[in-house]
């Protein structure tokens, strides 16, 4: 009788460990580091040196629509149009891929703002949140 009880304890212990092991093994390598959970390119959290300038022209289009900068740098956005724009990271409406871009936010006519620095390499799309389907107000920041 004592022998059976001991065997049961061992069996229960083994199966519990197997369950825990299966659960723990399921979590993939998750991004560590605060603030940038889920971001493709995390933000340095501060404005860096400007590596490129993107201008919204009087024609209502960004120019150039693609720029390349180095890791740690920012991008300058200039609004030379007569409309207010709200420049944000893709994807719309979550703006989670590259939070550095969200530092631009509302850009009034005549205003100049910088993104936060980009902490890693990658490709970051942006758009005008008020005109999310306007291709002329979309672009890409490449960090290499
Ligand atoms: Cu948006």
- Here the CATH number for the domain that contains residue 86 is 2.60.40.420
Q: Considering the domain boundaries, does residue 9 fall inside one? A: no
Q: Considering the domain boundaries, does residue 136 fall inside one? A: yes
How far apart CA 72 and CA 46 sit, in angstroms, is 9
Q: Considering the domain boundaries, does residue 134 fall inside one? A: yes
Write out pLDDT tens, residues 48-91.
999 999 999 999 999 999 999 999 999 999 999 999 999 999 99
Q: Considering the domain boundaries, does residue 98 fall inside one? A: yes
What is the per-residue pLDDT for 32? 38
Token pair recorded at residue 143: 């960090």
Query: Taking phi first (over 0 means left), then psi (-120 to 50 degrees means alpha), and beta for anything else, what does residue 139 get?
Result: beta
CA of 137 to the centre of ligand 1 (A): 11
This prediction has a pTM of: 0.75
Which residues constitute the domain of residue 116?
50-143
Instruction: Give the position of tokens 């603030």.
Output: 35
| Tally of domains in the chain | 1
Stretch 110-133: mean pLDDT: 98
Q: Considering the domain boundaries, does residue 25 fall inside one? A: no
Q: Considering the domain boundaries, does residue 100 fall inside one? A: yes
CA of 104 to the centre of ligand 1 (A): 12
CA of 33 to the centre of ligand 1 (A): 25
């Amino acid at each position: 009788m004592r022998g059976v009880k001991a065997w049961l304890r061992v069996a229960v212990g083994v199966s519990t460990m197997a369950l825990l092991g299966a659960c723990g093994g399921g979590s993939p390598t998750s991004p560590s580091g605060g603030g940038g959970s889920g971001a493709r390119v995390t933000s340095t959290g501060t404005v860096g040196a400007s590596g490129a300038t993107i201008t919204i022209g009087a024609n209502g289009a960004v120019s150039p629509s693609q720029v390349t900068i180095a890791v740690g740098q920012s991008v300058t956005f200039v609004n030379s149009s007569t409309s207010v724009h709200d420049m944000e990271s893709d994807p719309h409406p979550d703006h989670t891929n590259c939070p550095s871009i969200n530092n631009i936010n509302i850009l009034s006519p005549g205003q100049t703002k910088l993104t936060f620095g980009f902490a890693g390499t990658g490709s970051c799309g942006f758009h005008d949140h008020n005109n999310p389907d306007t291709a002329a107000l979309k672009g890409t920041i490449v960090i290499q």
